[in-house]
Structure 1
Amino acid sequence: MGYYDMHIEIKENLEEVVKFAKMLEYAGILIALNEHEINNEYEIKKIENLKKLAIENGIDIIIGLLIKPKNKEELKRVLDEFRKKVEIITVAGGIYEINRAACEDSRVDILYHPELGRNDSGLDHICIKAASENNVAIEINFNEILQAKNRPKILTFMRRNVKLCKKYGANVIITSGAKNKWEMRAPRELASIGYVLGLDLKTAIDSVSIIPENIIKTNREKLNGRLIKNVRIVDEF
């Protein structure tokens, strides 16, 4: 079992980030890019070169797309364009329409801050049931907690979403959301946040290990044409 941070928004000094991730005992980290960066050959080449250094340090670099759609139509457009190009797609929520659309679309891997800018948690039983059915993980982001002006309110909303995920069987992942290497956190520190928010200890640890690892593995098999509609293609001997 390895540990994964599935949301890092650091764009500079990535070599130092890799070394720091190794020190924190991560198996892999996800570098979140926006649409412009994904389409920028220079940015992609920079990440691909970084992967070589990462391999030497025993770190898996995952390329992720962070979508910030204004409405569900824009979400669908971006998913249509990028789903077969990137390993992981994370949707930034907040608007209920987007939260629900993300949960109902199996092309989405992770829903991030569904409670952003709201006076509620942003999710209900309809959303979470759909997230469970479509394997959309709900992200708890440490940096969001760290930067929150009203931290008690954010924590209350996150607890509510964790409770719904437990009730309906949706996955939760815990991430750092780091924008510089000093905002990165060790895996068990992130897991402890999940525990405080209501996850049992095993599930809290799974949220930074088995759950993200399975998402990565499944998506890479799909991109390589080795998994079609949940049927895994096995080599013939």
Structure 2
Amino acid sequence: MYAAVHARPDGQSTVARMAQTASRYGYDGIVVRNHGDCAATFDAEAIADEYDVAVVEGIEVRASDPSRASGLVGNHRSSKTIVAVHGDSVAINRFAVEQPTVDVLAHPTRGDGDVNHVLAKAAADNGVRLEFSLHDVLHETGGTRVRHIQSLRKLRELVEHYDVPYVVSGDPHSHLQLRAPRDLIALGETIGFSPDQIETGLREWAALIERNRRRQSDAFVEPGVWLDDE
């Protein structure tokens, strides 16, 4: 399982500190998903060797409109193992789920964002993972937390009905916000998710990483087509 994290300067902790904590909590690795304007500088190989945990470079594209988002996705697709789009509006959400080059639509119900049956079907058709972010359940209180739980339940119904691929994360911005997989599974149960649903979403990061690394291989031509070794 992988933890998808925001590290300094997008968060409060260094990549190394995030990796150290993730290793202690039993994760196989971390995905550094900083926003594009807050890129982290780190030596993934050195950190992996130090803490015995994989460190994967990703990005969470944040843009004010779909045109800008499209350019940023194109710029980063070949260099980043995981490309997510920061969901915070219906227009951005619609753009993201229609792009097979996007891996994850992050926290799609945050801000002015929403997901309906049309967007859910598009995500399923294009293989775009919708994220169940547990960040606000963990760190907000009162009405904000209640609204977020309601949004997650609505999203879960759409994901189940249209068989949409998905990921789960605690979306931590500090090593102090990291939670072990068992804790996220327990939290999920309290808001109506089954343990298997949370575990599947946590494991999906690793599946994406493996798929994308194969696609970045020189032998890859297109899905299902590979150059002959000879």
Shorter-chain-normalised TM-score: which range?
Answer: 0.7 to 0.9
Post-superposition Cα deviations, 1:134-165, rounded to whole Å, max 9, x if no partner, equal 11111122223234451111110111011100
Question: Residue in 1 aligned with 2:131?
Answer: 139
Cα gap change, 1:193/1:125 in structure 2, threshold over 3 Å: closer, same or farther? farther
Find the partner of 2:117 among 116, 125, 130. 125
Pairing partner for 2:165 from 171, 191, 203: 171
1:84 maps to which of 44, 69, 78: 78
Q: Tell whether the 8 Å contact from 1:33 to 1:63 is kept in structure 2 after alignment.
A: no
| Structure 2 unaligned spans of 5+ | none
1:153 aligns with 2:154: no
CA contact (8 A) 1:106 1:135 kept: yes
**Cα distance, 1:37 vs. partner?**
4.8
Give the TM-score taking structure 2 as reference length.
Answer: 0.88
Q: 1:216 aligns with which of 198, 202, 209?
A: 209
Output aligned runs, 1:166-205, within 5 Å.
Answer: 166-205=160-199
How many Å separate the matches in 2 of 1:228 and 1:131?
Answer: 23
Q: Is the 8 A contact 1:218 1:227 kept in 2?
A: no
One-letter amino acid of the counterpart of residue 142, structure 1: L
Change (3 A) 1:173 1:235: same
What is the alpha-carbon distance in structure 1 between the residues aligned to residue 178 and residue 47 of structure 2? 19
Partner of 1:111, secondary structure, is strand
Corresponding residue SS for 2:202? coil
C-alpha separation in 1, matches of 2:211 and 2:200: 16
Cα contact 2:34–2:59 (8 A) shared by 1: yes
C-alpha deviation, 1:236, in angstroms: 3.6
The residue correspondences of 1:4-43 to structure 2 (distance < 5 A) are 4-6=2-4, 8-11=5-8, 12-38=13-39, 43=40
Q: Distance in 2 between matches of 1:102 and 1:36?
A: 19
Alpha-carbon separation, structure 2, partners of 1:97 and 1:25: 37
Q: Find the residue that maps to 1:208 and give its secondary structure.
A: helix
CA RMSD of aligned residues (A): 2.1
Q: Deviations over 1:98-129 (max 9, x none)?
A: 111101101111111221224xx700111111
Alignment: residue pair count = 224
2:36–2:62 CA contact under 8 A, matched in 1 = no
For residue 65 of structure 2, the aligned residue among 65, 71, 79 is 71
Distance (whole Å) between structure 2 residues aligned to residue 193 and residue 73 of structure 1:
37
